């Protein structure tokens, strides 16, 4: 029996496993992530695939930290990978930890340190009457690796992109150049185009984290456009893969839109803007998602990651618990680890 709290951060669902899974081997949270990938991936499949999950769902496993100063650790699970870091999932995890009483909260501000596979992050949560109103965390350093690079994409031609790390490696392309206004009714076309750009970028622009070679390759695509209203700096949508892209089968170009403004994607975008001289330190950056919800980022100091000039971002957003459930597997269930069907999973 697995106990989980269902949460969404500005629209993005992030299920949080709070019980039923014992600690796993690993001297760091990154090693624990790797152990889960290689020895217990059935947990991810079981919680994210049907009948317990669906394509847009993410999942987080709360684990004991390996760093003494950390209050808790967690591993992020998505449909095709275990990201080292995720902003929306962090906001979901903090909300679940505080509102279910797993960590001691202090009003009006609760300070936590959480161990992620990408490293230790500091969190400040605004709490009122037991409810988490807002979560702000100091992310790992973000940096741009390629600016205005040219990628040759079959069926699209030459596409200009930026590549940056904000906790995951992103390829960022311009919405207007691709003919998108970033509306929900464009979702299917955005997914197809973004998956093509991501696959081409992985082939043509190899990247890896200089301090952790285990974090390598562009794994997610962001389509960036102008804001839709006053008070917002940029609008974006991020495409999370749900399958392996096969050039010979257009139906395999599958993914789902991040329903939130995307936390690590916001950090990656801020790193790109800073590298281009368009976003100074200390200025709020309001990033809008496909649903019109917003995260607010800010670059607070410069850093260095290997040979890259980097920046340290903070990110703020809110989340809401939608349910608490206990999941089981009947020993006679023909699909103990779930299933995918081509009508929505392709």
| pLDDT tens track for 74-113 | 999 999 899 999 999 999 999 999 999 999 999 999 999 9
Q: Are strands 234-241 and 284-288 parallel, antiparallel or unpaired?
A: parallel
| pLDDT tens track for 149-161 | 999 999 899 999 9
Q: Give Cα 40 to chain centroid, integer Å.
A: 21
Domains and CATH numbers, the chain: 2-139+320-327 (3.10.310.10), 143-317 (3.10.310.10)
Contact (CB, 8 A) for 338 and 329: no
Looking at 86, 219, 224, 316, which residue is catalytic? 86
What confidence score (pLDDT) does residue 235 get? Answer: 98
| pLDDT tens track for 5-54 | 999 999 999 999 999 999 999 999 999 999 999 999 999 999 999 999 99
What confidence score (pLDDT) does residue 345 get? Answer: 80
**Phi-psi category of 101—alpha, beta or left, where left has phi over 0 and alpha has psi -120 to 50?**
left
| pLDDT tens track for 190-209 | 999 999 999 999 999 999 99
Around Cβ 146, how many Cβ atoms within 10 Å? 19
pLDDT greater than 90 at residue 277: yes
Reply yes or no on whether 208 is catalytic.
no
| pLDDT tens track for 229-260 | 999 999 999 999 887 656 566 556 688 999 99
Interatomic CA distance for residues 337 and 208, integer angstroms: 31
pLDDT greater than 80 at residue 114: yes
List strand residue ranges (DSSP E) for 219-329, in order: 220-225, 234-241, 255-257, 284-288, 294-305, 308-317, 319-327
pTM of the model: 0.95
Residue 342 binned pLDDT confidence (cut-offs 50, 70, 90) = confident
Which tokens sit at 77? Answer: 């699970």
What confidence score (pLDDT) does residue 250 get? Answer: 56
């Amino acid at each position: 029996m697995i106990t989980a709290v269902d949460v969404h951060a500005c629209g993005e669902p992030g299920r949080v496993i709070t019980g039923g899974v014992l600690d796993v081997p690993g001297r760091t949270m990154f090693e624990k992530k790797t152990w889960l990938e290689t020895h217990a991936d059935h947990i991810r499949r079981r919680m994210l695939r049907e009948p317990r999950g669906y394509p847009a769902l993410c999942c987080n496993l709360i684990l004991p930290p390996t760093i003494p100063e950390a209050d808790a650790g967690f591993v992020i699970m998505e449909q095709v990978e275990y990201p080292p870091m995720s902003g929306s999932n962090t906001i979901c995890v903090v909300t679940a930890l505080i509102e279910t009483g797993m960590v001691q909260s202090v009003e009006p501000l609760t300070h936590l340190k959480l161990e992620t596979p990408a490293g230790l992050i500091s969190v400040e949560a605004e709490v009122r009457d037991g409810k988490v109103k807002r979560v702000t965390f100091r992310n790992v350093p973000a940096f741009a690796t390629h600016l205005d690079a040219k990628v040759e994409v079959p069926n699209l031609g030459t596409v200009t992109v930026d590549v940056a790390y904000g906790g995951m490696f992103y390829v960022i392309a311009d919405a207007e150049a691709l003919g998108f206004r970033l509306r929900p009714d464009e979702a299917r076309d955005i997914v197809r185009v973004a998956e093509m750009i991501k696959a081409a970028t992985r082939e043509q622009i190899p990247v890896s984290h200089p301090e952790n070679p285990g974090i390598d390759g562009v794994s997610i695509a962001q389509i960036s456009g102008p804001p839709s209203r006053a008070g917002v700096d940029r609008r974006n949508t991020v495409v999370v893969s749900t399958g392996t892209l096969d050039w010979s089968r257009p139906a395999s170009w599958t993914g789902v839109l991040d329903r939130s403004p995307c936390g690590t994607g916001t950090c990656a975008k801020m790193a790109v803007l800073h590298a281009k001289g368009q976003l100074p330190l200390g200025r709020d950056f309001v990033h809008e998602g496909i649903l019109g919800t917003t995260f607010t980022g800010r670059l607070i100091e410069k850093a260095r990651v290997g040979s890259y000039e980097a920046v340290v971002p903070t990110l703020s957003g809110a989340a809401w618990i939608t349910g608490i459930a206990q999941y089981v597997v009947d020993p006679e269930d023909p699909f103990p680890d779930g299933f995918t069907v081509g009508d929505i999973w392709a």
